[in-house]
Amino acid sequence: MGETPICLFLDGEHPATDLVSTYDVRVIRRADVDQRELRELSFGSLRTKNTTLWLSPFETFLFVDADAVVWGDMRRIANFERFDVILNMPIGNPERVRKWVMDVDRVSRYFPDFDARAHAGEFANSGAFFARRGMLDLDRYLELVRFAQGHPGLFYGSQGVFNFMLFSAADEAKLRLEQRDLQVTTGDTTREEVVRRFRFEHGAPVASVPPVVLHWAGSPKPTVRSRGQDYFEPMTFFRRQFRVAARGGSTPRLTDDLELRREDMLCADWRGSNLRARQLRLRRRVRQRYGQLRVKLRARTPGWMISITRREHRSRDGL
């Protein structure tokens, strides 16, 4: 995409000095966020990506997940003269919406002013989107995140509140929204189709027409080592190109791939396949089960018992 400037939202402690020196990347970390609530309620979770809607250093931008690559010049799609946000095409599948976005029935009960059921067929994966900075109310976002934390399972990760706010704002004519084919998700596409669309000639990628983002969603995350039906070469190509550029070289070396394999071993993404990821995944499942259990117990507890418990807490706290 030519000389398009890049900003990395980094939810971790990696210094990223090689990225900064090689590609002149701007880095925004948790410590750089002045707004305390935004910092505490978003960073350290999948909601980190949502902060780009207010913290992007660019007035208009293309957001891309870390487990995705851009294939072709996406700038031709960015029609900000007519739209404030451009999302991917709808997920469509009701079960996936419930699992990846929100519990539509519960959202309809808690927020009757928003027709969640009517919009369920429009909700989109947020792995790639165009947006205009500051188009959503930050206080409203923080309020929704706090509410979601008190109601486990209502909104999923980053995508629930994200879709809720965008479509409710569009209903209120506060922004102009369009949906286009921005992504190819590997979990929904056969390996044969991915290989065909994201192919290489003479060791170089063949740009896609129209341009699109390849997103490893709903399937194993890309590593140097692939197995079975995996097709990780597009991500590996760009990772390898960066390693070459970072050391000031012109062609890949064996040491570049060894460095990539080391990165894969140390990766802390809970969706990965290494030992560290498996441990994080187990902890995440335990937390999720605990949250689900709390919701079920609360739903089955008689109102009079909850009232007695609250009075006892107030009495013990001297209130």
Residue ranges in the chain modelled with pLDDT below 70:
270, 274, 295, 298, 303-319
Q: What is the pLDDT of residue 45?
A: 87
pLDDT tens digits, 124-161: 999 999 999 999 999 999 999 999 999 999 999 899 99
Average pLDDT, the chain: 89
Domain ranges for the chain: 7-184, 275-316
Dihedrals phi, psi of 132, to nearest 5 degrees = -105, 130
**Given this model, what pLDDT does residue 318 score?**
53
CA distance 58 to 208: 26
Beta bridge partners, 178, equal: 86
What is the pLDDT, as a whole number, of residue 169? 97
Q: Provide the percentage of residues in the chain whose pLDDT is more than 70.
A: 92
Judge if the upstream peptide bond of residue 90 is cis by omega within 30 degrees of 0: no
% residues pLDDT > 90 (the chain): 70
pLDDT given at position 39: 92
Residue 14, pLDDT score: 82
**pLDDT tens digit sequence for 10-26:** 988 888 999 999 999 99
* pLDDT given for residue 279 in this prediction: 76
Please choose, from the candidates 223, 214, 171, the residue with its C-alpha nearest in 3D space to the C-alpha of residue 195: 214
| Residues 6+ positions from 266 with CB-CB distance below 8 Å | 274, 276
What phi and psi, each to the nearest 5 degrees, are found at residue 115? -80, 80
